[in-house]
Structure 1
Amino acid sequence: MAQTDEMGVRRFGRWNRTGTATLAHRECRRFMSIWSQTVMGPLINAGLLLAVFAIAIGPTRGDVMGVSYVHFIAPGLLMMTVIQNSFANTSSSLLAAKVQGNIVDTLMPPLSPMELLVGYLAGGLARGALVGLVIGVVMLVLLGTGMAHPLWFLVFLTLGGLMMGALGILAGIVANKFDQMSAITNFIITPLSFLSGTFYSIEALPDALTTAAHFDPIFYLIDGARYGTLGVSDTSPWLGLAVCLGVTAALSGLALRWFRRGYRLKS
């Protein structure tokens, strides 16, 4: 993909910083151009979910892990919104380019597979982080949740955006039409998100489901966000960090391999 001279050396050095930044900037401008749909929409959805649970269950539900139920679910909703938006940004960008036939405009410039990966991940992370930070500020102002461990919160927020951004790249490469992408979202992303402990502590689950929850990487993202904001969690944040780093590296490595091969991107 990258242009080389007669000696086989890249004209842009070891890393095409300008090209990578341009791709990342394009991905950010892409979602900001329709901010009412990509930013305001998720914020409103998260607010409505929090309001519904607060009104319907909050008054009758006791404390969970030593905090009120509304405070307990708020970090989970925040992280769920982050991962859904990061996934949506990378997957929709690649799929739309394939469907519209302009994926060549991304593959032809002098960008290496790693630079393509970084550019797409930067866009997904930016969208997820923007929505997550806004929700975090609203939580701080309206609920007074605060930040028990802000560094841990930022770490899991970043890992959530990168992990689901990488998964979105894989989904965008695999899918050839929007129906296929809807199937991936409905049967993989949504179940993993809702069964990850967002609305409950996994200690309340039967033993079999508790064991299954520990194989869901999104559970560790939710749990990590809860630890960062409230200081309580179902598992050690260090275990969550290790799992999330491993899954993110594996997904990113597979995405890099597919970019390198041009898998389902070159006809």
Structure 2
Amino acid sequence: MADQSLPLTGGETPTVNIRATGGFPNPGEPLFRSINRLGLWTLYMKEVRRFFKVQTQTIWAPAVTTLLYLMIFTLALGRGGREVLGVPFASFVAPGLIAMGMINNAFANASFGLLGGKIQGTIIDYLMPPISEGELLAALVGAAVTRAILVGLVVYGAMLLWPGVNMEIRHPWAIVWFGLMGSILLSLIGVATSMWSEKFDHLAAVTNFVITPMSMLSGTFYVISNLAPAFQAVSRVNPIFYVISGFRFGFLGQSDIGDTNLAVLHGAIGLGVLNAVLAVIIYLLLRSGWKLKN
């Protein structure tokens, strides 16, 4: 704080206080010295309330769709006491359906936020608040993962009552880890898709030609050992395969990732590394303003 005399043209010279500008950023230049917890929580709650306000569409409807998958595939492929990995077909397919429902809804939630803002002209609501790019990414991903967990819990609860399905938990760490890593993976892909897309047709293209094939061909309804070697190699490149198989391992204690539990652990580590790399890339894209500030 410095006292300086500023002369006026027609009278006495008052003394006013002028705050020194040292330590302040230039106008328009953001400065973040710590985590803006309030801003992060506010944006997270905004995204949660957005999907929770229409929970019939965002939580209950996906759960019903997943249960329809279970019913159809059980009737079509589970007759005659068919077993896969040593368990009835219904018990084999149920964990994969839970994981698939979780990751699909994580992508759906994360892919709408920024795109909706661009189309509705409210993207400024994401860019102007005093939160960093990391906090913005964390809030969008966190809300998507929250939706995924809610859908997973609803489907799991329904499958507990489903006749012929055994949902005994054998490895809780695998359920938690692969469920979270799968949800975060698809949330990150969803944020990237939301940044890239300029209209809902772009989002629909990614959903129909990338996400849906990756989900359906991830081993949810079969073990990849039934495939030809070339298609097995393709399946092992698909990260969703490890999400589905690892999540199933938590319930069945068996997985087609490999013959040993160590193979499952390697898959878990690989998913964690992939998510970390994707998070860094998307963070850098957010910092650059790619497709957001044009």
More helix, by proportion: 1
Deviations 1:125-174 (A, max 9, x none): 00001101221222233323121111210111111111110000000000
More strand, by proportion: 2
Counting only pairs closer than 5 Å after superposition, residues 42-121 of structure 1 correspond to structure 2 as: 42-60=62-80, 62-121=82-141
Greater relative contact order (Cα < 8 A, sep 6+): 1
* Residues 56, 262 of structure 1: alpha-carbon distance in 2 compared, 3 angstrom cutoff: same
Percent identity over paired residues: 38
**Matching residue within 3, 18, 30 for 2:38:** 18
Alignment of 1:188 onto 2:232: no
| Deviation at residue 181 of structure 1 after TM alignment | 0.6
**TM-score of the two chains, using structure 2 as the length reference:** 0.86
Structure 1 moving runs of 4+ over 2 Å = 8-13, 137-144
| Deviation at residue 232 of structure 1 after TM alignment | 1.0
| Deviation at residue 11 of structure 1 after TM alignment | 7.5
Deviations 1:227-247 (A, max 9, x none): 011111012221211221122
Deviations 1:21-60 (A, max 9, x none): 1111111101000000000110010011101111222114
Alignment of 1:244 onto 2:274: no
Alignment of 1:258 onto 2:280: no
One-letter identity of the residue aligned with 2:218? S
Aligned to 1:7: 23
**TM-score of the two chains, using structure 1 as the length reference:** 0.94
The answer (yes or no) to whether the contact 2:32–2:132 under 8 Å persists in 1 is: no
Alignment of 1:177 onto 2:199: yes
Residue ranges of structure 2 left out of the alignment (5+ in a row): 1-20, 258-262
Deviations 1:186-236 (A, max 9, x none): 110000001110000001110001111110000000001100111110122
| Deviation at residue 8 of structure 1 after TM alignment | 4.6
The answer (yes or no) to whether the contact 2:220–2:244 under 8 Å persists in 1 is: yes
Matches of 1:8 and 1:204 in 2, distance apart? 64
Paired residue secondary structure (2:83): coil
Q: CA RMSD in A?
A: 1.5
Q: Which has the larger radius of gyration?
A: 2
**Matching residue within 192, 213, 233 for 2:255:** 233
One-letter identity of the residue aligned with 1:185? T
The alignment covers a number of residue pairs equal to 263
